[in-house]
Amino acid sequence: MQKWRKSLRTVGTQSTTTNGHAVTALPATPTSLRIAIVGMGGVTATFRNWPERVIGRALVQRGHRVVNIGYHQPNQEALRERATVVDGITVRRVPVRHWPNHAVYHALDELGPFDVIHLFHPRNVLAYGTTRWAERHHVPTVYTWLGPFHDRYLIDDRERPYEEQPRYDRLLWSFAEALHWTLRDGHLRDHLRNYALHYPLRMAKALLPCSEHEANVMRSMGLEQTSTVVPLWIDVAHVSAMPARVSPGPHPTILFIGQLTPRKGYDLLVRALPEVLKYHPKTTVQVVAGLNEADRLVMEALAAEMGVRDQIIFRGRVDDAELVNLLRAADVYVTPTRYEGFGLTLLEAMAAPCPIVASAIPVVNEIVEHGVSGWLVAPNDVAALAEGIVRVLGDAGLRARLCQGGRAALSSQFDEQALICEIERVYRRVSARPRRYTAKIYDLPG
């Protein structure tokens, strides 16, 4: 698979391809853009490395005016405030509703006009209303899908998506298709939801997939817009500046970060641990996850069955500073994931730095180069995972080389200035077309 280190690529029926040299960061042009970023969680003060915040902050630093519209969810502290400003980004949060969502329209009316709107996430229920508003105001949209196999209409088992074939035939792109299938089976609500999730993707003027894998899936979906692959990145300087609070603890230490779901592969790690303990009997596993009691009980039961319950330490949810210091203290970060839309924790591990052992699945194998910036193992394979962990834990020189390779990858593949320049180029290209204003009409399904 072609890696980002070779080039940033633009693909599609109207495609062009950049040359094989690194993209040079350019200063922002005197003409600033008015940009709306519309996602789910979006920009919050809590999650510094969420892509909407990282991209929005970089755009503000280049002199652009950036607005974020995301979900208002009063039961979640990070999404409780309806209006705020984060890193110079004006944030508005609105109710979670497909259509009609008058709060989305009012926020866009109030905070506009815009030169371009950037949509995020395959399950973004704000995307449909935003797209309808954009069409009527002749504002171009671009879309970063961020994990196509999170789409339940494309994949049945989103926990293990590579064990089945994608169902491209189930995607609905038009209101007429939704009505057609409703007349056949009567499932109106589900077909309208299917249509509302995919129509914004079809109507986007350009696609900004975050991986080659995502770009390939989009082509298989039948999308023909220009598609420019731009990976996500993190605030490396912020990670480096975190004060060190590493406390001595038991070693070796394995760090696991993620939800306790089959998709994240925690069960594979638990099953691999007995073999690891044969070679490194003092090994412990630190688990960082937003735990609920049911998830924890399932993992504890499996650990007890495997005889390793005492080696697993649950840390729950931690803040950014504690996460960085856990990565610094760990001997290896292990992610035996079965699917990733991208994998920001891989970049966070590289920045800490902490050596990585990861599943060699799509997207992960675009971020991590085996033996250089991490150690890749066969996916869904307990024996291979155990062997990889034992190999890395047993070789201090290898761990040092993987850390060095990870930092080098951050500088070359995931450089903020180069990547934000590429996104800005896409914005300018789609916003350069003549546009006109039309009256507000929000009550047509399309």
pLDDT, tens digit, for every residue of 388-422?
999 999 999 999 999 999 999 999 999 999 999 99
* pLDDT higher than threshold 60 for residue 438: no
User: What is the CATH code for 10-233+415-431?
Assistant: 3.40.50.2000
CB neighbours of residue 309 within 10 Å = 14
pLDDT digits (tens, 9 = 90+) for 91-107: 999 999 877 889 999 99
Task: Enter the DSSP assignment of 140.
Answer: -
Place of tokens 């193992």: 377
Domain coordinates in residue numbering, the chain: 10-233+415-431, 236-412
Where does the pLDDT of residue 344 fall: very low under 50, low under 70, confident under 90, or very high at 90 and above? very high
Is residue 189 within a helix (H) or strand (E), and if so which, with residue range? helix 188-203
- Report which listed range, 238-247, 314-323, 367-376, is most confident: 367-376
pLDDT for the residue numbered 245: 77
CA angle 271–272–276, rounded 5-degree value? 140
Q: ω into residue 74 within 30 of 0, thus cis?
A: no
pTM value is 0.89
CATH topology of 10-233+415-431 equal to that of 236-412?
Answer: yes
Residue type, 446: G
Q: What strand order describes the sheet that includes 34-38?
A: 10-11, 227-228, 206-207, 141-144, 116-120, 34-38, 65-71, 89-94, 83-86
138 within 8 A of 436, measured Cβ to Cβ: yes
CATH of 236-412, one of 3.40.710.10, 3.40.50.2000, 3.30.70.1710, 3.60.40.10: 3.40.50.2000
